[in-house]
Amino acid sequence: MSSAARDPRTPDSKGGTNRDPPSDDDVVTHAHGSFFGRRKGHRLRSHQADLIEHLLPRLTLDITGPSPSDLAGLFDRPVESIRLEIGFGGGEHLVAEARAFPNIGFIGCEPYVNGMAKILAQIEALDIGNIRLFAGDATELLAWAPPGSLARIDLIHPDPWPKRRHWKRRFVQDASIAAMARVLKPDGEFRFVSDIDGYAAWTLDLLQHSADFVWTAERADDWRRPWPGFTHTRYGAKAVREGRAATYLIFRRR
């Protein structure tokens, strides 16, 4: 596809994709949240179940009470700043970032229990100390987090919800943009990756209408190519196999 056709400033009317989101039968909706996907997949192996039972409680954020004034206290060692990845899936990107930046604290949010089991296995095998986890809806986590507490939020290959009547299920909405603006520090970043041109255009349009964010791209390669050090995920690899190029958008909190 030509770069002009892929220009995220040119929305396509269908928000089109050839990837299936969870079917309606699998969808769990929540009155107070924005999670519309599967929470469970294939049965966990016994070690994975053991990690969910014993390791996850040690790493999980408890958002039932008030948030601490400083999220750095969640980590055993001092951290310079804190980043969040929403919907980390199998955890490829989150694990790579946590290992590359040991002085940064990472929070990973993923309601899909099989994804959680996968990242727990990597945390255990690689002895990663700077990841904390939340096995639920990022909307609830964002509402709980203290204002100005995060340096960066990553949303990588979010569920595209291609049918027009499902667009309201997309994670990026005016309300989630406002929620991210609240918890990001000034100059903090929201980074978005999608191989679905319609969702990239949707995101760019909403963010450009937000007074809280500025799109940082200066040239086409800034959105056509991954930022330096970007680690591709399972969904990114699938997109490449199926011939879809991804769009990489970085927005700075004003």
Ligand X SMILES: C[S@@+](CC[C@H](N)C(=O)[O-])C[C@H]1O[C@@H](n2cnc3c(N)ncnc32)[C@H](O)[C@@H]1O
What are the tokens at 234?
Answer: 């399972």
Q: Is residue 247 part of the contact set for ligand X (CB under 6 A)?
A: no
Query: What CA–CA distance (Å, rounded) separates 153 from 57?
Result: 23
The residue within the footprint of ligand X, chosen from 158, 162, 188, 198 (CB under 6 A), is: 158
Query: What CA–CA distance (Å, rounded) separates 50 from 52?
Result: 5
The residue within the footprint of ligand X, chosen from 97, 159, 189, 197 (CB under 6 A), is: 159
Least Å distance, CB 140 to ligand X, is: 8
The residue within the footprint of ligand X, chosen from 156, 179, 246, 250 (CB under 6 A), is: 156
Site string for ligand X, 173-202 (x = CB under 6 A): ------------------------------
Q: Closest Cα partner for 183 from 235, 138, 145, 155?
A: 145
Least Å distance, CB 110 to ligand X, is: 5
Complex with ligand X: residue 138 or 204, whichever CB lies closer: 138
Least Å distance, CB 104 to ligand X, is: 19
Site string for ligand X, 100-139 (x = CB under 6 A): ---------xxxx--x---------------------xxx
What are the tokens at 238?
Answer: 């699938």
Check if 159 is active-site. Answer: yes
Query: What CA–CA distance (Å, rounded) separates 127 from 106?
Result: 14
Identified catalytic residue from 137, 154, 159, 195: 159
Complex with ligand X: residue 41 or 102, whichever CB lies closer: 41
What are the tokens at 149?
Answer: 């507490």
Least Å distance, CB 93 to ligand X, is: 7
Token pair 């609240």 is at which residue?
182
Complex with ligand X: residue 30 or 209, whichever CB lies closer: 30
Q: Enumerate the H helices of 51-173 as residue ranges.
A: 56-59, 92-100, 113-126, 138-144
- Cβ contact 137:35 at 8 Å: yes
Query: What CA–CA distance (Å, rounded) separates 106 from 98?
Result: 7
Indicate the burial class of 209 (C-beta count within 10 angstroms; 0-12, 13-18, 19 or more): exposed
Classify 28 as helix, strand or coil: coil
Site string for ligand X, 66-105 (x = CB under 6 A): --------------------xxxxx---------------
Which residues are designated catalytic?
Answer: 159
Q: Which residues bind ligand X (CB under 6 A)?
A: 34-35, 37, 86-90, 109-112, 115, 137-139, 156-159, 171, 233-236
